[in-house]
Chain A
Amino acid sequence: MAPMATTDPIFELRGVCKYFDDTCALSNIDLAIRNGEFLTLLGPSGCGKTTILRILSGFETPSTGEVRLNDTVINDVPPEKRKVNTVFQNYALFPHMTVRDNVGFGLAMAGTEKGEMARRVREALTMVHMEHLADRRPGQLSGGQQQRVGIARAVVNNPLVLLLDEPFSALDFKLRKAMQLEIKQLQRSLGITFVFVTHDQEEAFAMSDRVVVMNEGQIVQVGTPKEIYEEPASLYVARFVGDINILDATVRNATGDGMYRAEVEGVTMALHSKRRFSDGTEVKVLLRPEDLRVHRVAEGMLDEPHLLGRIAQTVYKGATVDLYVQLDDAHGGKTVMASEFFNEDDEEIIYDAGERVAVTWVDGWEVVLHAEDQ
């Protein structure tokens, strides 16, 4: 039975820094990985996510700080002595061995008894639907099949933690989607902690219990996919996880209950925020495209506060339409993007280029950050 994710950390990084020559790859990383969770390290290339993974697997040792597995410091334990296994980018399958020998490698190294080894290898291969190809060599398999073998080869050793280093980067879009689902199900049924590295935010959100967003060797936010998307801790996070509209604003005064009166692009509006802002603070108002609402000006004036502009471009996306609205110079002149759900019976969201529109948003869905919070 799969144990539910607990809050007990199984793997911990405390104050970890890593220097390569003189460049700092990781600075002061504190991270507690919970037993049984699916954790994703998300960030652009060079952000340090792979370095963290290599520190967890033992291929790198931290310059300073501690790595703890089940509350034991394992800084100097080599990879072969850690009960942690990795699914490598591009799989790293042994080309001179059959699929069966690849999967059995870890067990053979541990000196597992023959019968048990054969049984466990068969189980692992069945689990990834590869039992019929056990006698093939990696070179005779497709990318997706090699991926499955790579996963089986790692999980057959019953690791405490499974590390996955961008395992889908070489797969095409459709296969990637399918593998994401499979990996997620696998993690549920095995109940093992998974640490997954990717630069693809959609992938991260689709699979993870928690996401760690990284930038330039630092952790910038840790949270559930929902928290990261809806409550980004910084403009960097907001920009990295999906499209975002950023409006300039100045706080006039607090009106209590987490409400503020503010000038947003020259229009006085009410803003919601749990953060504290003193009067006169410059802030940024973050809005996801799906939170914006576009109205025809011709339909009469809105009674709620709004920004005026013109339709610059409409992009048909199938289920949605992206409306690019060029705000009037009086409202800062920015171009914002709104996604509206398309409804074939409803002509309402078909706009002509140049048409005058007003932009509002769903009350309370805005995120307000200090302007200097880059």
Chain B
Amino acid sequence: MQKISSRFVRTSIVVVTLWLSIFVLAPQAMLLIATFLERGQQDFLTTTFTLGNYVRLFDPVFLLIFWESFRLAGITTLVCLLFGYPFAYILATSRRTLRPWLLLLVIIPFWTNSLIRTYAMVIILKSGGVLSNVLLWLGLIDQPISLMYTDFAIFIGFSYTLLPFMILPLFAAIEKLDMRLLDASKDLGATAFQTFRHVTLPLTMPGIVAGCMLVFLPALGMFYVPEILGGSRFMLLGNYITNQFLMARDWPLGAAASTILTATLIMMILVYLRSVRASARSGEGALEGELLSTEGA
């Protein structure tokens, strides 16, 4: 029996490892390799090594796309953080009996198809749509307006679909926070703001970084939100990558552009790990006298 069971274990290990190596690591490796290959006519790729794809990304057209994408994703992330943090805080400190249900109300939109949620925004924003009607009714405007096909529409669409992705990690981080530490801080004479700045904020930093990651990266990649709400006028990073693969058929360039996404991701993970380490209960070594050097005088 012991023999069979260890065969069972060995088979499991092999199956799972093979699956993930073939369908995760191999494709990702291919993508990375493709960024260094020249574009081919027949098979999309040649075997000639080049750095040209990265050089081509310095084209002003791409740089503009790049800038626009980061700007929109950045604003979305910031706004989601500003609105999400107090929300997550209230949620995490709500009554214990009520909390799972309040949380569930965030989880449902989290799992709802983002396309459907983007579509709901179309209904709100389009000419003669709900927002326009409400504004007319309030007498703030005198003829129907459309907010569609603006960068504001894209921003609202991103915020609407991605807000739950900010709230959930923030909630997890704040709920873990030991509230007695806030008491201790007040007891030692810290004002509400000082307590937030020196205790709450650093201790919930992992949640903040995780939330920002979960909003910022999709906001760069979800090509259909700008396409639906922004129309063809707006070309963002996600659309650009999609186009290289499906329209322009320029795989190496698309792969190189997507490497920028991955690089951004890696940077954010590094920031995350740093913040986790800084707020960890058992941090290695000491980040020398942070408070002593910043406070005082």
Contacts and interface: CB of A to CB of B under 8 A. Distances in A.
Decide if A and B are genuine partners: yes
Interface of A: 57-59, 78-81, 84-86, 88, 90, 92-98, 100-101, 104-114, 117-118, 121, 135-140, 153-154, 157
B43 interface: no
Given A95-B281, A96-B278, A139-B280, A79 B186 contact: yes
Contacts of A81: 189
Contacts of A95: 181, 203, 279-281, 283
Contacts of B282: 137, 139-140
B292 interface: yes
B262 interface: no
Contacts, number: 120
Nearest to B201: A96
Interface in B177-195: 178, 180-181, 183-191, 194
Interface residues of B, number: 34
Nearest to B295: A108
B297 A109 contact: no
Contact of B184 (A84, A86, A100, A104): A86
B7 interface: no
A62 B178 CA distance: 25
B71 interface: no
B65 interface: no
Contact of A138 (B186, B188, B281, B291): B281
A50 B181 CA distance: 17
Contacts of A94: 181, 184-185, 198-199, 203
Contact of A80 (B186, B198, B288): B186
The winner among A81, A137, A139 for most chain B CB atoms within 10 A is A137
A136 to B, nearest CB: 7
B286 interface: yes
Interface in B143-188: 178, 180-181, 183-188
B187 A97 contact: no
B203 A100 contact: no
Given A95-B279, A111-B297, A137 B189 contact: no
Given A85-B188, A109-B194, 19 more contacts: A57-B187, A59-B186, A59-B187, A79-B186, A80-B188, A88-B180, A88-B183, A88-B184, A95-B280, A95-B283, A96-B203, A98-B289, A101-B292, A106-B189, A109-B188, A113-B297, A136-B286, A139-B282, A157-B189
